[in-house]
Structure 1
């Protein structure tokens, strides 16, 4: 119990320091933009903040696959709020997030400063969100979408919604599927999922009390898309790729130096 309390106190202290530093950086960037009268690409600064947050929160992240060298639409399974700092630490990107996050104390303000695109679920805003994503991609900034639309328990992947995928075709960029999985003692971590009516603060405390969790992230092969593709079929294809990656993560023996043999993504879906 003492060890858990000390661990929690230390990590919360570091997390608070990181939030303060990131807030000061956001203010400095905003002041610089106001001074020079033009916007600044905030993704490199956001990535640095995500890297600091992931380290102080105790995530041991393993990355497999090739990072994109240009703008892409990234799609990934969604398990927890912690997916965001972890994935944001790997690739410079902007997120599409539920509108409720904007109201989280400090975190919501920082998400807005990092250029997060917000969508209110069930409000008919998919078309506007798709236009925002396409515009951001045309500006050569990658965007990450969680096409499940909600978080899962982390042992399977929920159905993907395809209504936002056409933004990649509109912008002329590929879609890069990603898989994220949390492991503790070589089993799916039961603490990581942020589901149901759980609150951010209670979940954060439970997670930080425990030893570091291993997080595996797989970047699959990018998939080319065209305007005449069937995006509902494409959504099922992408979901199958991400599901394959998740099952491989949790079936991989946790041996020192071992690297999971993740499956390659499936071939491009042709247009109709």
Structure 2
């Protein structure tokens, strides 16, 4: 009995993808200006099938393009963010090789990079091209996923893009906190966060299978005031400040506290 729900959920996900992928191919070929419309619907459907309740606070920067800086906890981050904001992800190149996931990621114009400074620098032109085209980008500057409670250090090389002007203006960067706070309306703790957090060398399908046996997850997205490189003396300072902002917010989310209102 414990395996019935995961099986039906996986079949429903495959059916959902099978229905929408051909439509997205048509949109990319004939209506490229609307290329992010269907992925947002796709991710909303995935969240529903996976029983993820997304709660938002703060204000999404309305200007495009924006570079959204987020902490990284789980494979669930993708549908949670993709449901909420239109744009392209910057992902590690291993994702491109995942069965089905890699192909679907390409349909959302995902940029695949290696987690090394030379690779990040080498893809700046591609990322800048997306931004100058008016696309939002989603970037996880930890370079890998964390345990859902404590952040890994943000790599300042991921912020090198913010040093460039986009269409003659400083690039707007908005820090966003992802927090998984509740399972079946019960607070997640250090002992239970592993239900959601996907870290280390844990096998992906095994983690997904175990997750699907659980109940409803509450995912929080907390949007913080946008910044530009002009607010800092270097990209390293910018990276440190964004990391601190998100770390404080993650702590508040996991202890069921609202955001403090601060001026930057």
Fold-level similarity (TM above 0.5) = yes
Structure 1: runs of 5 or more not aligned: 34-38, 253-259, 268-272
Report the Cα distance in structure 1 between the residues aligned to 2:262 and 2:211, rounded to whole angstroms.
31
Instruction: Please tell me whether residue 85 in structure 1 is matched to residue 79 in structure 2.
Output: yes
* Alignment check: 8 A CA contact 2:162 2:235 kept: no
1:264 to partner: Cα distance: 4.1
Q: Which residue of 2 aligns with 1:23?
A: 21
Instruction: Please tell me whether residue 72 in structure 1 is matched to residue 66 in structure 2.
Output: yes
Q: Which residue of 1 aligns with 2:88?
A: 94
Q: Which residue of 2 aligns with 1:158?
A: 152
Report the Cα distance in structure 1 between the residues aligned to 2:262 and 2:228, rounded to whole angstroms.
12
Q: Which residue of 2 aligns with 1:174?
A: 172
Residue aligned with 1:147, SS:
coil
Return closer, same or farther for 1:52/1:10 CA change in 2, 3 Å cut-off: same
Report the Cα distance in structure 2 between the residues aligned to 1:265 and 1:143, rounded to whole angstroms.
25
Instruction: Please tell me whether residue 186 in structure 1 is matched to residue 183 in structure 2.
Output: no
Report the Cα distance in structure 2 between the residues aligned to 1:248 and 1:161, rounded to whole angstroms.
23
Instruction: Please tell me whether residue 58 in structure 1 is matched to residue 51 in structure 2.
Output: yes
Instruction: Please tell me whether residue 46 in structure 1 is matched to residue 23 in structure 2.
Output: no
Q: Which residue of 1 aligns with 2:214?
A: 210
Residue aligned with 1:124, SS:
helix
1:176 to partner: Cα distance: 0.3
Instruction: Please tell me whether residue 32 in structure 1 is matched to residue 33 in structure 2.
Output: no
Instruction: Please tell me whether residue 130 in structure 1 is matched to residue 148 in structure 2.
Output: no
Q: Which residue of 2 aligns with 1:119?
A: 113
Report the Cα distance in structure 2 between the residues aligned to 1:20 and 1:52, rounded to whole angstroms.
13
RMSD: 1.9
* Corresponding pairs, count: 253
